[in-house]
Amino acid sequence: MAGFWGTRKKERAELAAQDAELGRRADAALVAADERLRLTADELMFAELELGRDATKDLRDALAAVRTHLGEAFHLNQLNHDEIPDTPEEARTRNARIVQLCDWAEALLDDRLEALAEPVARARRAPEIIDGIRRDVARDEARIPRAEAALARLSDRYSAEALRKVAGNAREAGHLLEFALHGADISTARRETGQREQANLALETAIEASRRATTLLDAVDAFEVEALRAETTLDAIVDDSRDDIAAARDLRDVPAVAAAMTELEKELLSLTPAGAKPDPFAELTRLRAANAALDAAVDKARERAARPVPPESHVRHAIDDADRQLGVARSVISGHRGWIGADARTRLAEAERLRLDLANLPTPIPEDDREAALLSARRCGQLASEALQLAQRDIDSSRPDDDGWGGMGGGRRGGNGGGMVNGILGGLVIGSILDGIFD
């Protein structure tokens, strides 16, 4: 008994130590959150000077929400230190709530400050960024004549459709570079007059315009290499396609293979002749798709040759056999409802569900679905047979064992009357199954 009371005393001491630690955490969290609130208010003031009030609205709303909820935390802390005694449970609940509110406040302020960190840093580095934009514009302006010469050279080799994505890149890049310089000038002027929001908006616009112009010029530089790579790949796929057509000639009697071969031959004949301007990207896409379709058709045909598709008559026969077995099992179970257990009814329900799925098969049954349909029909028949066997077992086990059962020679313990009835019922059931199978 002394050990029991000693254990309870130790548990109370541990709980009191945990409550004291929670109280210290609550006090520290409240002090830290209050200091964080003050520092964030200062950050908001500096951010508004750099970005304007509209850009800092989320941080300002977060500060208002934090002030409201920290007011609740300070009120709870005051209750912890007033003259009214509290139970340990009350103090524990209040301290946990204070910690929760302070953690939420700091997480919210961190999130809003993190969202503003990059715009503020960019605004503070605005003069440096504008100088970088001007350097990028000067560099890209020098690239425009080279891009125009490259486009003229490419137009002599490739079709207008092939060049459609890059044909206007040099001209559009020139307009964007002019727009970037204009945005940089506006940003500088607005910043000098103290209009920070407009200055930052113009700066963002200039940065984006310069970036897009560089991307367009890079696309022109990369196009020629990509076109050469596409032509090389196209030559390899042409050779591979001709080999595939030759290898698939022994499967021409398969309709899917014949159609895929015809389509691939059509694509090979439609390739741009020598001396004309090709579109290697479009031709590569079409030829690759036709080649892949032939490969898939050949693989499927060879797989079917290795594993023949069952005739539809076999599938229909299996479905008919499942129907017969379902009919026998259904009639026996429905005729002895009070005697049939859950196992037999479950098997019958599973068989019925499979039969419903088989009823949705189209006519004629597609070759791709025949094997699965045959397996489902056989499984349906197997489940019906198991349901019948389980039902027979339940019927046998549910018969009374009195001496008068069956009217002959006693029950299963005293004579052969029950066995004769079992034999008669079993014979009727088996006879029904055989009649259904050979009918």
- Say yes or no: 337 and 409 in one domain: yes
Of residues 116, 139, 140, 131, the one with CA closest to residue 203: 131
Distance from C-alpha of 423 to C-alpha of 142, rounded to nearest angstrom? 103
Task: Provide the number of structural domains found in the chain.
Answer: 3
Of residues 342, 359, 343, 350, the one with CA closest to residue 326: 350
Distance from C-alpha of 45 to C-alpha of 43, rounded to nearest angstrom? 5
- Say yes or no: 338 and 301 in one domain: no
Instruction: Decide if 422 is inside a domain.
Output: yes
What residue spans of 52-125 are helical by DSSP H?
Answer: 57-80, 88-124
- Say yes or no: 31 and 77 in one domain: yes
Residues 437, 321 contacting (CB under 8 angstroms): yes
Largest CA distance in the chain: 119
Distance from C-alpha of 312 to C-alpha of 328, rounded to nearest angstrom? 25
Of 255, 276, 306, which residue sits at a domain end? 306
| Residue 48 CB contacts under 8 Å (≥ 6 apart), including other chains | 56
Confidence at residue 303, expressed as pLDDT on a 0 to 100 scale: 80
Distance from C-alpha of 283 to C-alpha of 234, rounded to nearest angstrom? 8
Instruction: Decide if 379 is inside a domain.
Output: yes
For 75, 312, 396, 423, the CA distances from 414, given in Å and listed in that order, are 88, 54, 16, 17
- Say yes or no: 392 and 325 in one domain: yes
The sign of the CA dihedral 268, 274, 278, 281 is positive
The count of other CB atoms within 10 Å of the CB of residue 93 is 13
Distance from C-alpha of 13 to C-alpha of 2, rounded to nearest angstrom? 17
Distance from C-alpha of 135 to C-alpha of 115, rounded to nearest angstrom? 28
- Say yes or no: 384 and 287 in one domain: no
**160-180 per-residue burial string, b: 16 or more CB within 10 A, e: under 16:** eebbeebbebbeebbebbebb
Instruction: Decide if 214 is inside a domain.
Output: no
Distance from C-alpha of 144 to C-alpha of 381, rounded to nearest angstrom? 76
Ordered DSSP codes for 225-278: HHHHHHHHHHHHHHHHHHHHHHHTGGGTTSHHHHHHHHHHHHHHHTSPPTTSPP
Residues 396, 418 contacting (CB under 8 angstroms): no
Helix, coil or strand: residue 185: helix
Cα 178 to chain centroid distance, Å, stands at 43
The label of the residue with tokens 């009217």 reads 407
- Say yes or no: 13 and 100 in one domain: yes
Distance from C-alpha of 82 to C-alpha of 167, rounded to nearest angstrom? 79
Distance from C-alpha of 47 to C-alpha of 50, rounded to nearest angstrom? 5
- Say yes or no: 287 and 389 in one domain: no
Confidence at residue 8, expressed as pLDDT on a 0 to 100 scale: 66
- Say yes or no: 355 and 254 in one domain: no
- Say yes or no: 407 and 355 in one domain: yes
What tens-digit pLDDT sequence spans the chain (439 residues)?
445 445 566 666 676 677 677 778 888 888 888 888 888 887 777 777 667 677 777 888 888 888 888 888 888 888 777 667 767 788 888 888 888 889 898 888 888 888 877 777 777 777 888 889 999 999 999 999 999 999 999 998 999 898 998 999 999 999 999 999 999 999 888 888 877 778 888 888 999 999 999 999 999 999 988 998 999 999 999 999 999 999 888 888 888 889 999 999 999 998 888 888 899 999 999 999 999 999 999 988 888 777 777 888 888 999 999 999 999 999 988 888 788 889 999 999 999 999 998 888 888 888 778 888 989 999 999 999 999 999 999 888 876 654 444 443 333 333 333 343 344 344 444 444 434 433 3
For 110, 117, 124, the CA distances from 58, given in Å and listed in that order, are 12, 13, 20
Instruction: Decide if 200 is inside a domain.
Output: no
Instruction: Decide if 161 is inside a domain.
Output: no
- Say yes or no: 9 and 66 in one domain: yes
Distance from C-alpha of 178 to C-alpha of 181, rounded to nearest angstrom? 5
Ordered DSSP codes for 109-121: HHHHHHHHHHHHH
- Say yes or no: 63 and 108 in one domain: yes
Query: Does the global pTM surpass 0.75?
Result: no
Instruction: Decide if 99 is inside a domain.
Output: yes
Domain range for 288:
230-306
Instruction: Decide if 296 is inside a domain.
Output: yes
Distance from C-alpha of 218 to C-alpha of 223, rounded to nearest angstrom? 9
Of 104, 124, 144, which residue sits at a domain end? 124
If phi > 0 it is left, if psi is from -120 to 50 it is alpha, else beta; for residue 318 that is alpha
- Say yes or no: 32 and 112 in one domain: yes
Structure tokens at 28: 């520290």
Confidence at residue 50, expressed as pLDDT on a 0 to 100 scale: 66
**306-342 per-residue burial string, b: 16 or more CB within 10 A, e: under 16:** eeebbebeebbebbebbbbbbebbbebbeebeeebee
Of 283, 306, 329, which residue sits at a domain end? 306
Neighbour-count burial of 439, counting CB atoms closer than 10 A to its CB (0-12 exposed, 13-18 middle, 19+ buried): exposed
Confidence at residue 83, expressed as pLDDT on a 0 to 100 scale: 66
Residues 120, 48 contacting (CB under 8 angstroms): no
Instruction: Decide if 195 is inside a domain.
Output: no
